[in-house]
Amino acid sequence: MTEDIMTLSDVTVSQGDQLLLRHVSGTLTSGTMTAIVGENGCGKSTLLRLLTGTPNHDASVSLLGRSLQQWTLKDIARHRAVMQQTPASPFAFMTDEILLLGRSLYHEPFVHRLAWMEQVAQWFELQPLLNRDIQRLSGGERQRIFLAKAVMQLFSENQAVTDSPDLHGKLLLLDEPTSALDLRYQRLVMEQLGYLTRLGLCIVCISHDINLVSPYCQQMWVLGEQRCIAQGSPADVLTLPVLTRCYRTAEIELIPRPGKPPLVAH
Ligand SMILES: Nc1ncnc2c1ncn2[C@@H]1O[C@H](COP(=O)(O)OP(=O)(O)OP(=O)(O)O)[C@@H](O)[C@H]1O
């Protein structure tokens, strides 16, 4: 069963007198991953921030059929989780404490939280990172912990702990979640995110690594010129006219891959 999780209707974003994004529309549905790509400074993080509902509840964005203006932040947080670009902790928290912060919204027994932590740690192979000082982890290790913290937030209160929880009606917003990861963990994270979409989760993932994300996403939104210049399946969007316009270079080549969207080379 596919349901609309978030809808954008002609979204325009300005900062002071600078226009950052104009006329972006689209729908994000359950059980899908949407990749947002585009050159530096084209407005990807700006768009993601708008989807979080935190800067100013925007009337042109609706969550589960209701304008964000009609939601409280606490209720929004029960349906969507966010991982910002280069997350960091200003305090010397232990990794377990960071992960359990993902459950701080909910009233539930502590053992229940621990059980979710074990489940999420297993999905993202975090066991060797548990009970460690977050400030003493490498950049990639830290990135995996903060991704897992965001996932921890998505399970409903008192939902039974299982390796296949129902994630319909939930939204995960990710700003470059694999930027610090090595080849093995890039693949592991994308595989697990793909698994979570099959459980019903709706994911939005900003990435500069088109070749990594394109096999896992059902939709791709290409930003450029302060607007969305293409939206569709990776196969539809990854064309030379779209990519040369987006990245303002003709030095791009598309290499066919059997059973996958084409490889983008430059
Ligand atoms: N607080 C702000 N005030 C004014 N301009 C801003 C502000 N935040 C971002 N911008 C500008 O908005 C534009 C879009 O920024 P944004 O961070 O959304 O880009 P991005 O596509 O995520 O870039 P990158 O790929 O480099 O992360 C940039 O030109 C940036 O300089």
Using N-to-C axis directions, what is the helix angle for 139-152 and 110-123, rounded to 10°?
130
What's the pLDDT at 56? 62
Ramachandran assignment for 259, one of left (phi > 0), alpha (psi -120 to 50 degrees), beta (any other): left
d(CA 121, CA 259): 31
Pocket of ligand 1 contains residue 164 by CB under 6 Å: no
Q: Kindly state if the Cβ of 200 falls inside 6 Å of ligand 1.
A: no
Residue 79 DSSP label: T
What DSSP state is assigned to residue 133? B
CB of 42 within 6 A of ligand 1: the answer is yes
Token output for 130: 């548990």
Q: Determine whether the shortest distance from the Cβ of 209 to ligand 1 is under 6 A.
A: no
Identify which of 12, 46, 48 to mutate to test ligand 1's pocket (most ligand atoms within 8 A of the CB): 46
Provide the 8-state DSSP code for 128.
G
d(CA 205, ligand 1 centre) in Å: 17
Residue 159 DSSP one-character state = P
Query: Would you give per-residue pLDDT tens digits along the chain (266 residues)?
Result: 789 999 999 999 888 889 899 999 999 999 999 999 999 999 999 999 999 987 665 678 999 999 988 899 999 999 999 999 888 887 889 999 999 999 999 999 999 999 999 999 999 999 999 999 999 999 999 999 999 999 999 999 989 999 999 999 999 999 999 999 999 999 999 999 999 999 999 999 999 999 999 999 999 999 999 999 999 999 999 999 999 999 998 899 999 999 999 999 98
CA of 227 relative to ligand 1 center, distance in Å: 13
Task: Residue 199: count other Cβ atoms within 10 Å of its Cβ.
Answer: 17
Q: 27 CB less than 6 Å from ligand 1?
A: no
97: three-class secondary structure by DSSP? helix
Q: Is 45 in the pocket of ligand 1 (CB under 6 A)?
A: yes
- Strands of the sheet with 227-232, listed across from one edge: 80-83, 171-175, 202-206, 33-37, 219-224, 227-232
What pLDDT, on the 0 to 100 scale, is given for residue 106?
96
Q: Is 17 in the pocket of ligand 1 (CB under 6 A)?
A: no
Atom of ligand 1 nearest to the CA of 206: 22
Per-residue tokens: 163: 């390796």
CB 54 within 8 A of CB 40: no
CA of 57 to the centre of ligand 1 (A): 19
Q: What are 250's two structure tokens? A: 């003709």
Q: How far is the CA of 181 from the centre of ligand 1 (A)?
A: 23
Nearest to 217 by CA among 246, 237, 245: 237
Closest ligand 1 atom to Cα of 48: 18
Return the amino acid letter for 140.
Answer: G
Closest residue by Cα to atom 9, ligand 1, is: 46
